[in-house]
Chains A and B, each alone.
Chain A
């Protein structure tokens, strides 16, 4: 019998891990967008928020490292699972079609690995831009994150890249939110159908929210 930690190497254990880390990353994203929306309240509020997050929080390094580990685990497990799954069907079908309802298969579900890898690439750029780039000080303390963000979105190329990436986030979440719960074994005759719908609504809202911020920054914020 497997050891208690053998759970993580089996096909089912891998699923559980991807699910749990996925939910954790999703929760982080919820906090992230909530914070980002403060940008609409102006530089003072936004930079104050950034200050509290960065300096008022002694646990920040722990959280950052934790988040990084969760992220890496999610990526590692998903990539290795994808590779293993590729092995499971060495000869492809000549013709393969969507099987119809109640299959949950979608463009989003079929491209999880690609949307995921895109996001990996995006996050590297994104973190570099906001976490490891020159900063402007903000008189009331901390940095002028507001200005940093607006400057980031001046370029239509960057803005476009962000918008596109947020569409990819939406796609990943479109399948990912409900899928994560299924992966963790959460299922209920009444709640699962609702979760499936809610997951898609949240995915759209989330992607939409980030996109609005990016577009606003590009067209409005950066010019004022």
Chain B
């Protein structure tokens, strides 16, 4: 396959970026999207040109490091798929593909398609954990947890922290990301002690980072590689309300 690529190039956080045209002439349908970029980069490197910077690591859809907006959709056109698992057979010979980085005030561009997502880490740092020191834990079976509860918590815990939800949202909101963690921990008995403090602290941190609010469109859910539903956001709202008006005081 031959493809025309329009790729966002930006030297650094302070500089302006632009789309640059590249031709990918030997694309195999079996390549993953990132392997296609590897091949383009290999060509650039051999000619001594700067490679296109993009993040990736596990390349099997679980580490959450990769993330590109492909033709206007974060992680590309396939449901429940990270861009590292998107394959070129999804495209047609002669297609033009526009590739952009995640765009959000809270995710400044580091270079080209690489952005700084440390804001998500800071949201977790604000309270996305259970405060147990190593050493004092009771037996794992001391607290039985209903299978359904555990499964629902697992659905939320599956979040890979890639930030596609932010990238897709017209408000660049991190509500799906943080609601997934809040849901995971508030559903389980282990998370009860800090339940209210956690939700308030995480929401405050997300707001301080400059993420937007939620308009209930659910674009986030549609692009989420783990298909985490926006029912988590509703749960977060309930938790928050409860924290400030019912149980948290």
Contacts and interface: CB of A to CB of B under 8 A. Distances in A.
B214 A15 contact: yes
A13 B215 contact: no
Given A93-B72, A95-B72, A185-B235, A10 B204 contact: yes
A90 B105 contact: yes
Nearest to B171: A85
A182 B210 contact: no
Interface of A: 1-2, 4, 6-7, 10-16, 81, 84-85, 87-105, 109-110, 112, 175, 178-179, 182-187, 189, 192
B4 to A, nearest CB: 13
10 contacts: A1-B200, A7-B244, A87-B105, A87-B212, A88-B104, A88-B211, A104-B218, A110-B217, A175-B217, A192-B231
Contact of A11 (B201, B214, B238): B214
B105 A12 contact: no
A109 B217 CA distance: 7
Contact of A84 (B74, B168, B212, B240): B212
B213 A15 contact: yes
Interface of B: 6, 8, 19, 69, 71-74, 77, 79, 98, 100, 103-106, 168, 170-173, 175, 197, 200-201, 203-204, 206-207, 210-219, 221-223, 229-231, 233-238, 240-241, 244-245, 248-249
A95 B100 contact: yes
A192 B206 CA distance: 27
A11 B211 contact: yes
Given A16-B237, A87-B105, A90-B105, A187 B212 contact: no
> Which of A16, A89, A92, A182 has the largest count of B CB atoms less than 10 A from its CB?
A89
Given A85-B170, A88-B173, A189 B231 contact: yes
A102 B222 contact: yes
Given A84-B212, A103-B221, A189-B231, A13 B170 contact: no
Contacts, number: 153
A84 B173 CA distance: 11
A192 B69 CA distance: 30
B245 A103 contact: no
Contacts of B211: 11, 88
Closest 4 CB pairs of A and B: A97-B72, A88-B212, A185-B237, A187-B234
B212 A89 contact: yes
B233 A182 contact: yes
Contacts of B245: 4, 7
A88 B217 contact: no
Given A16-B237, A182-B233, A88 B222 contact: no
